[in-house]
Amino acid sequence: MGLLARRSRIAAKQNQPITPQTSGYIAEFLTYVLAPLLPKLLQNSTRVITNAGGLDPIGLKEQIETYLHKNGHKTVKVAAVWGDDLLSATFSKDTLKFFSPLNTTDTEEPFFTSTDSLLSLNAYLGALPIVAALKEGAQIIVTGRVVDSALVLAPLAYTYNWSLHPSSPDLDSIAAASLAGHIIECGAQCTGGNFTDWREGAFSSYGGWSNMGYPILEFHPSPPSTQPSFIVTKPARTGGVVNRLSVIEQMLYEVLDPQNYLLPDVNLDLSHVTVEEVGVDRVVVRGARGKCPTRWLKCTGIRMDGYRIEAALIIPGHEARVKARILGEALVQRANWILKGRGMEKIVEYRIETPGAEEMFGYDISR
């Protein structure tokens, strides 16, 4: 299920002050990613855009600034993109409406309600505030909740001066850049990671999965009469594979309607896209078309609704499948006895799986 928030009210919040949260960002981004690479990044004047801000982009921005100042880099400009947190604002009753993303009507479907005790509720913002930060000269930009494609679209829109207005004449270029971002958003997925023909990546040259190459985009702006295109590739002498199928599998990931992949910056139409191999580990993608984005923003919400526990146990030997299921049921029953003795609610839903017994194919588990 998904949530949608009316975009006009989200935009209005951008100019209001925010009280930073005390946690919620990925602190390891600075420790394991930015800090080791910082000397080379500064030497090359490379600008960094990351969504590691999570629920507290201002907190991560301040952590990065503290590190920079301690290491003598006081002139490096760091920006934070915020405004996605809907719980920090007061909305009128008609501001938030709740829909399934599969619902093509304006019929509201109860999933979260305005009276729920939500732990978080965040709208997926687009590229516009990232572009604004680039124009202000920020070298490191930390975002909260944004669509993954915006991290690619923003620097391209800034570089080529595309208009991100809903009625922009650059909608096809915005669509192509958003598709490029969508294809690389899951990292090594498009370079043969979780790929149907997985052996091609697992046993590829230069170490296979143990030395996976992450994707590289080469974007080619096109004249108005031609379609914008981009190439997906990966670093030389790395494992994995970039071919037509590996790219297409990722392209189709979570789009729902391929003629209407709803993003905050563009309504992306994939129905005319072509994917062609043009060299070893080089695939060119063409034909993305853009339409005016909707007036809604997707949201993600979290509420506390009980607890979920997963456990795995190895059961070898003769009749292992039957033995495992009997043991699993016994564990659940015993847990319920303990919970009852402590005045707690029993387990109401559980799943026992026996990997290796082919249950995922629908075999009769009683045999």
Asked if residue 89 is part of any domain, the answer here is yes
Is the model more confident about 8 or about 100?
Answer: 100
Say if residue 306's pLDDT is above 80. Answer: no
Residues 6+ apart with CB under 8 A from 302: 118, 119, 120, 121
Asked if residue 256 is part of any domain, the answer here is yes
Q: What are phi and psi of 224, to 5 degrees?
A: -55, -30
Asked if residue 345 is part of any domain, the answer here is yes
Do 295 and 328 reside in the same domain of the chain? no
Do 204 and 129 reside in the same domain of the chain? yes
Pairing of strands 229-233, 216-220: antiparallel
Please state the domain count of the chain.
2
**Quick one: pLDDT at residue 1?**
25
Tokens of residue 328, six digits: 């699993």
Do 274 and 350 reside in the same domain of the chain? no
Banded pLDDT at 225 (limits 50, 70, 90): low
Q: What are phi and psi of 216, to 5 degrees?
A: -120, 140
In angstroms, the CA 257 to CA 254 distance is 9
Q: Which residues of 2-28 are buried (b: 16+ CB within 10 A; e: fewer)?
A: bbbbbbebbeebeeeeeeebeebbbee
In angstroms, the CA 165 to CA 137 distance is 21
Is the model more confident about 299 or about 293?
Answer: 293
Q: Which H/E stretch holds residue 4?
A: strand 3-6
**Quick one: pLDDT at residue 281?**
96
Do 344 and 292 reside in the same domain of the chain? no
**Quick one: pLDDT at residue 258?**
94
Residues 6+ apart with CB under 8 A from 282: 231, 232, 233, 242
Mean pLDDT of all residues in 220-235: 83
Q: Is the CB of residue 228 less than 8 Å from the CB of residue 173? A: yes
Strand ranges of the sheet holding 229-233, from the earlier edge strand across to the other edge = 216-220, 229-233, 282-286, 274-279
Do 99 and 193 reside in the same domain of the chain? yes
| DSSP structure string for 265-331 | S-EEE-TT-EEEEEETTEEEEE--EEEPPPSEEEEEEEE-------------STTHHHHHHHHHHHH
Tokens of residue 92, six digits: 């009128």
**Quick one: pLDDT at residue 349?**
87
Q: Is the CB of residue 297 less than 8 Å from the CB of residue 123? A: yes
Q: How many residues does the chain have?
A: 367
Q: Flag the least confident range among 4-18, 134-148, 176-190, 194-208.
A: 4-18
Using alpha carbons, list the distances in angstroms from residue 147 to 116, 133, 202, 211, 282. Answer: 25, 17, 29, 28, 25
In angstroms, the CA 78 to CA 57 distance is 11
Do 98 and 30 reside in the same domain of the chain? yes
Q: What is the 3-state secondary structure (H, E, C) of 321-332?
A: HHHHHHHHHHHH
Q: Give the highest mean pLDDT range of 166-180, 316-330, 336-350.
A: 166-180
**Quick one: pLDDT at residue 112?**
59
Asked if residue 157 is part of any domain, the answer here is yes
In angstroms, the CA 146 to CA 168 distance is 20
Q: Flag the least confident range among 84-88, 128-132, 166-170, 189-193.
A: 84-88
Do 21 and 109 reside in the same domain of the chain? yes
- Enter the DSSP assignment of 189: G
Asked if residue 310 is part of any domain, the answer here is no
**Quick one: pLDDT at residue 248?**
97
Three-state DSSP class for 241?
Answer: coil
Asked if residue 313 is part of any domain, the answer here is no
In angstroms, the CA 258 to CA 270 distance is 5
Residue range(s) defining the domain that contains residue 26: 3-301
In angstroms, the CA 109 to CA 119 distance is 20
Asked if residue 312 is part of any domain, the answer here is no
**Quick one: pLDDT at residue 98?**
59
Do 288 and 253 reside in the same domain of the chain? yes
Do 344 and 204 reside in the same domain of the chain? no
For residue 91, which of 187, 18, 5 has the smallest C-alpha distance?
5
Is the model more confident about 173 or about 328?
Answer: 173
Tokens of residue 225, six digits: 């009469």
In angstroms, the CA 276 to CA 304 distance is 46
Do 292 and 325 reside in the same domain of the chain? no
Asked if residue 224 is part of any domain, the answer here is yes
In angstroms, the CA 328 to CA 119 distance is 32
- Does the pTM surpass 0.85? The reply is no
Amino acid at 339: L
Do 292 and 324 reside in the same domain of the chain? no
Do 346 and 221 reside in the same domain of the chain? no
- Mean of the per-residue pLDDT values of the chain: 85
